[in-house]
Amino acid sequence: MESIKVGMVVQLKSGGPKMTVSKLRQDGKLDCDWFAGTNIQSEAFISEVLKIVDETKRPAPIMK
């Protein structure tokens, strides 16, 4: 499995919002940020509870 790096989009294996990894901490946890409405939320997770979201399968946005 690919290792999780800063900037990757992840999600809890149990579901929930897509989150961006913002920091790899020395204690092994990953700081993740996501939006709840217009508010940014942050929390630290161990990598074992996260999965990488494959953003390449999403269609590109249409630019006008």
Q: Is residue 22 part of a domain?
A: yes
Q: Is residue 60 part of a domain?
A: no
Report residue 32 as tokens: 């993740």
Q: Is residue 26 part of a domain?
A: yes
Q: In this structure, are strands 30-36 and 15-24 parallel, antiparallel, or unpaired?
A: antiparallel
pTM: 0.81
pLDDT tens across the length of the chain (64 residues): 578 999 999 999 999 999 999 999 999 999 999 999 999 999 999 999 999 998 766 555 666 6
Q: Is residue 64 part of a domain?
A: no
Q: Is residue 40 part of a domain?
A: yes
- Structural domain count of the chain: 1
Structural domain span for residue 39 = 9-54
Q: What is the DSSP letter of 2?
A: P
> What span, in angstroms and rounded, lies between the C-alpha atoms of 61 and 38?
21
What is the chain's alpha carbon radius of gyration, rounded to the nearest angstrom?
A: 13
